[in-house]
């Protein structure tokens, strides 16, 4: 029984087929979960497994599958998305300079601010959609840590231009690809050194695990990230990785449905009388539309929504929905929403009334009916209808 496809296969097929055990008569179709902290070992330690903090066979299939999807040679799973960020950023010595979007995941920004306070690291926050400004900020920098689209403002960076400019200047590049997923864009192919994911989100996809991952083509970077994982104990539990791999098998189906739902909801929201502003790259008038259309495969399933009536209206919409789940995080099969500035650590340039919608895989008409009734009810209650 051949395991070699007759031609190159699509990413969806890779998600289903990569990381499978060898085809042997009577063998399992899925890789087994090994629940052991310790391995039998005597004498001088060599290449064999010793202890699960260093390695376990349960990590391998997930790492192989994600690396194949991202087009990289090394996939490394870690205990959380922030563990992946910390490992990918690496050793920031005093005087190091990091360029990062002014709008990015708030804990990423908090991590860099902590490095700045503790170790005299300079953090340059930029409008990542302003290519000239980012390129100027790269002069004398050591690291570009990019998001595109950004969290939660959905700005779209010109990744090919920024990554090329960074490479010319010898600046290491890390791209957080959580929002787009490897089905939406492949930053390594665009010139990135490292890709990071919060596996918790779309890759696992069911809001039941906390994991992170790093993907790279660079052998030295991969060795550093694995050493970080071992030395800092930033390891993933085998059951969590098993669940993440099971989620990864349906990534293409979930992303296709969620993206289609988001495109349709964004279009309808843009015409709703109770809505002041909608951000989604699918909309022709969105600032990131042309750039996203050129470098992404699909526009993602996150929508930025500002209802008429300001912060009070935004909070009221969250209270009024029935199907949408008021919750942080994103990328699960269920649709969720939250007002981002409810977190004191969110960037102060994020509007107080911005709702971040994570569109799931439910029936789009049901999702729309729930949003419409919530927006209309809130608008009527405030005399805006």
Which one, of 218, 216, 201, lies nearest residue 70 by Cα?
A: 216
Residue 2: predicted pLDDT? 43
Which residues of 263-383 form beta strands (DSSP E)? Answer: 275-279, 302-307, 325-326, 336-339, 355-358
Residue 370: predicted pLDDT? 98
Residue 207: predicted pLDDT? 97
- What is the distance between the terminal CA atoms of the chain, rounded to a whole angstrom? 65
Distance CA 71, CA 74 (A): 9
- Of the listed ranges 53-57, 84-88, 162-166, 373-377, the one predicted with least confidence: 53-57
Residue 48: predicted pLDDT? 80
Residue 49: predicted pLDDT? 87
Distance CA 369, CA 375 (A): 10
**Residues 6 or more apart in contact with residue 168 via CB below 8 angstroms:** none
Decide if 194 contacts 227 (C-beta within 8 A): no
Rounded to the nearest integer, the mean pLDDT of the chain is 95
* pLDDT surpasses 90 at 45: no
Decide if 152 contacts 106 (C-beta within 8 A): no
Q: Give the mean pLDDT of 5-14.
A: 84
> pLDDT grade, residue 43 (50/70/90)?
confident
CATH class in words for 251-381: alpha beta
Report the percent of the chain where pLDDT is more than 90: 93
> pLDDT grade, residue 1 (50/70/90)?
very low
DSSP state of 384: -
Instruction: Classify domain 14-248 by CATH architecture.
Output: 3-Layer(aba) Sandwich (3.40)
**Residues 6 or more apart in contact with residue 7 via CB below 8 angstroms:** none
* Domain residue spans of the chain: 14-248, 251-381
> pLDDT grade, residue 3 (50/70/90)?
low
* pLDDT surpasses 90 at 178: yes
Please write the tens of the pLDDT for every residue from 111-160.
999 999 999 999 999 999 999 999 999 999 999 999 999 999 999 999 99
Q: Return the active site residues.
A: 53, 105, 176, 201
Q: What DSSP string runs through 123-169?
A: EEEE-TT-HHHHHHHHTT-SEEEEESS-TTT-----HHHHHHHHHHT
Give the global pTM. 0.95
Strand order in the sheet with 212-216: 74-78, 212-216, 194-198, 172-176, 143-147, 97-101, 122-126
Q: Give the mean pLDDT of 363-383.
A: 94
* pLDDT surpasses 50 at 371: yes
Which one, of 358, 353, 350, lies nearest residue 153 by Cα?
A: 350
* pLDDT surpasses 60 at 182: yes
Please write the tens of the pLDDT for every residue from 55-85.
999 999 999 999 999 999 999 999 999 999 9
CATH topology agreement for domains 14-248 and 251-381: no
Residue 383: predicted pLDDT? 65
């Amino acid at each position: 029984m051949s395991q070699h496809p007759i031609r190159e296969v699509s990413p969806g097929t890779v998600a289903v087929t990569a990381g499978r055990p060898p085809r042997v008569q009577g063998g399992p179709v899925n890789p087994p979960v090994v629940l052991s902290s310790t391995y039998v070992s005597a004498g001088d330690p060599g290449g064999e497994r010793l202890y699960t903090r260093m390695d376990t066979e349960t990590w391998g299939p997930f790492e192989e599958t994600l690396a194949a999807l991202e087009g990289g040679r090394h996939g490394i799973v870690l205990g959380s998305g922030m563990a992946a960020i910390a490992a990918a950023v690496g050793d920031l010595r005093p005087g190091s300079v990091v360029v990062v979007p002014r709008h990015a995941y708030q804990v990423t920004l908090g991590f860099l601010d902590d490095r700045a306070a503790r170790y005299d690291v300079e953090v340059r926050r930029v409008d990542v959609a302003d290519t000239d400004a980012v390129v100027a900020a790269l002069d004398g920098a050591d690291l570009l840590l990019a998001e595109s689209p950004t969290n939660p403002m959905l700005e779209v960076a010109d990744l090919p231009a920024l990554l090329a400019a960074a490479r010319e200047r010898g600046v290491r590049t890390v791209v957080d690809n959580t929002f787009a997923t490897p089905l939406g864009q492949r930053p390594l192919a665009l010139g990135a050194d490292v890709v990071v994911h919060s596996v918790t989100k779309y890759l696992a996809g069911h809001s039941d695990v906390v994991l992170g991952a790093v993907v790279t083509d660079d052998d030295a970077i991969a060795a550093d990230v694995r050493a970080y994982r071992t030395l800092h104990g930033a390891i993933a539990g085998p059951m969590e990785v098993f669940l993440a791999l099971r989620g990864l098998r349906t990534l293409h189906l979930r992303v296709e449905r969620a993206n289609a739902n988001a495109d349709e909801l964004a279009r309808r929201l843009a015409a709703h009388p109770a809505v002041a502003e909608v951000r989604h790259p699918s909309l022709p008038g969105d600032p990131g539309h042309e750039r996203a259309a050129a470098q992404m495969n699909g526009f993602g399933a996150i929508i930025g929504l500002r209802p008429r009536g300001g912060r009070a209206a935004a909070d009221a919409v969250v209270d009024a929905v029935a199907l949408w789940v008021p919750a942080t995080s994103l990328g699960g099969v269920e649709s969720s929403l939250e007002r981002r500035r409810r977190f004191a650590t969110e960037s102060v340039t994020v509007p107080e009334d911005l709702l971040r919608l994570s569109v799931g895989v439910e029936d789009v008409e049901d999702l729309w009916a729930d949003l419409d009734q919530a927006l209309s009810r809130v608008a009527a209650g405030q005399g805006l209808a």
